[in-house]
Structure 1
Amino acid sequence: MLWDNRAEWSFSAYDIVRTNVYAAAGGMTLNIAGRQESKGVELAGSIRPIEPLRLWGNIAYVDARYADYDFVGGSFSGNTPPNVPRIVANAGASWRFFTPWPVEVGITGRHVGDRYNSDANTVTMNAYTVGDVYAFVDIPKTVFNAVDQARVTFRVRNFTDKRYAIWGDPFYPDQILLGAPRTYEISAAFKW
């Protein structure tokens, strides 16, 4: 925390080694990868330059690789596990109106880098960037006496209606799951 608690940041670094990892071989069969290594860093920050405005973002880089992954007929040692992007980034901005029923409007964006859909790393699912917009209103306790806090939110997810692959099935490497199209959502949350 810094700047009179109006800004914050964090940094993470990691080096993870997993041994004897199950890996999809296709057609509902599994192989065992001797080792999977993941090294990465993440930087995140948030700032409120003026009271109603908040800006935030984070970016992560990961280098994930199979090591000691040999099987009858070949090797995937050195390949990236499926569905693991090197880069993931998120950013957002919001503006809060300090009215009797506080209202906040905002926009968020996320970027996910290229990923492979199988251990063989033969098919790449392209990177994508999507955005959401939202507005919510906080309803004071005086409206609902039994409720400490209530919030009603309206959100438009993937507001540009981008078509993208969100996930690939390693058991069936010729199949992918598409991300949701433009979606409208309204929700209410209550805290007692």
Structure 2
Amino acid sequence: GANKMEFKGLSAAKAQVYNSDGDINTTIGYVADDNERVSMEVGLNSNFSTGAIEHQLAANVTRYNEEYNLNAKSFDATYTYDTNIYNPVWETPSLNFDVPLLLTTDTNLTSYGIADTLSFDQDKYQLTLGARYQQLETEQTGGILSSGTKYDESAITPSVAFLTKMTDQTSLYANYIEGLSKGATAPTSAENSGEIFAPYKTKQKEIGIKMDRGEFTHTLSLYEIEKPNSYTDTDTNVFSYAGEQRNRGVEWGFFGSPAESVRLMGGITYIDAKLTKTNDGVNEGNQAAGVPKWQSKIGAEWDLPFIENLTLTANANAVSKQYLENDNIQSLPGHTTYDIGARYLTSVNQTPLTIRARVDNVMNKAYWTTASYNDLALGDPRTFMLSAT
């Protein structure tokens, strides 16, 4: 796979609403980003037996490369505006679009993985053992914000899972997995803008139960994920990793068919995302920024009996409030959005064709969400999409 993206536009920096009337002060600057991504994956699956033990072997190799360039013109005080969020009046500044290169970040991710699922006693017991070698190379060059940081880290991460079928309808499972993730880059608004941090390991433990009741299948799981915590300090404006974030949660999911030609799927997740280790104990025990405690979703599909091969779809997604920063002072309210769509199966010259149409956020709900580095961002408005496969 390959992907190329370019973005050019006018952007506001450090916009501030400074009174209850909605008066706002902001500085406008020209920003340009571009990146190129190339990815590949090749794998091998195999089934075989050794005596009474059945094996399902899976091996794969993945490779991912990304080159990211950030260009921007300095946010000049000449282009500072006072306006109002309820009655905005803008002037388009005459900016020089010949902007300097701020930094280039080149990232290469390589992974070699293998896993074997061993089945005993006619699949009553299943044990999965796996390992993955990951190499993560990151280098920052060029531009006035480049820190010259270079990382070449690698790790072998294990995975193990066990499943037992207590009855024909009920199974218990447990798993443990580790992974190596790319370190974050300090945002342009931070004092140490552009600094790249070393890759870090994440660890996940999970136990659960799966119940197949015929028309409906339910899964219930408990999990814990440990990862380093990063944020921009509000006093020093320095972005850094300072401690550990522990996510503990419970998740219920289901899918099934309550009636002919009707399918339902959905679930509810509760996450206790807690800062367990912080610099000098500041904010320790608080809820991690940008992580809502509750999330839920439900989806439905209906195959219309009077129009062959036409399926109507509907989805609802709900998210509870989330804190904007780790100090847990400011929060964003929860929101619920609804989507509707349709899917039609046909053929053209004996070639199968699927046409999909969808409207996301059909009620055009206005809501806040979080973006990178705990900044505020507007949720997507009503969006129409059409595709063919």
Deviation of the 1:168 alpha carbon:
4.5
Q: Which has the larger radius of gyration?
A: 2
8 Å CA contact 1:117–1:168 kept in 2: the answer is no
For 1:91, the aligned partner's letter is I
Q: Which has the higher strand share?
A: 2
How do 1:16-55 residues align onto structure 2 when only pairs under 5 Å count? 16-18=225-227, 20-25=228-233, 29-55=238-264
Tell me the TM-score normalized by structure 1: 0.82
Unmatched runs of 5 consecutive residues or more in structure 1: none
For 2:388, the equivalent position in structure 1 comes to: 188
Deviation of the 1:99 alpha carbon:
6.9
Percent pairwise identity = 26
1:61 aligns with 2:270: yes
8 Å CA contact 1:117–1:169 kept in 2: the answer is no
Tell me the TM-score normalized by structure 2: 0.43
8 Å CA contact 1:83–1:116 kept in 2: the answer is yes
Change (3 A) 1:41 1:64: same
Secondary structure at the residue paired with 1:163? coil
For 1:179, the aligned partner's letter is G
Taking the aligned partners of 2:371 and 2:356, their CA distance within structure 1 comes to 31
1:7 aligns with 2:216: yes
For 1:76, the aligned partner's letter is N
Taking the aligned partners of 2:266 and 2:217, their CA distance within structure 1 comes to 11
How do 1:114-129 residues align onto structure 2 when only pairs under 5 Å count? 114-129=321-336
Question: What is the alpha-carbon root mean square deviation over aligned residues?
Answer: 2.2
1:156 to 359, 366, 374: 359
Taking the aligned partners of 1:115 and 1:125, their CA distance within structure 2 comes to 5
For 1:177, the equivalent position in structure 2 comes to: 377
Unmatched runs of 5 consecutive residues or more in structure 2: 1-210
Change (3 A) 1:10 1:70: same
For 1:56, the aligned partner's letter is M
Deviation of the 1:98 alpha carbon:
5.6
Taking the aligned partners of 2:388 and 2:329, their CA distance within structure 1 comes to 44
Q: Which has the higher relative contact order, 1 or 2, with Cα contacts under 8 A spaced 6 or more apart?
A: 1
Change (3 A) 1:152 1:36: same
Taking the aligned partners of 1:178 and 1:68, their CA distance within structure 2 comes to 31
Secondary structure at the residue paired with 1:49? strand
For 2:301, the equivalent position in structure 1 comes to: 94
For 2:382, the aligned partner's letter is R
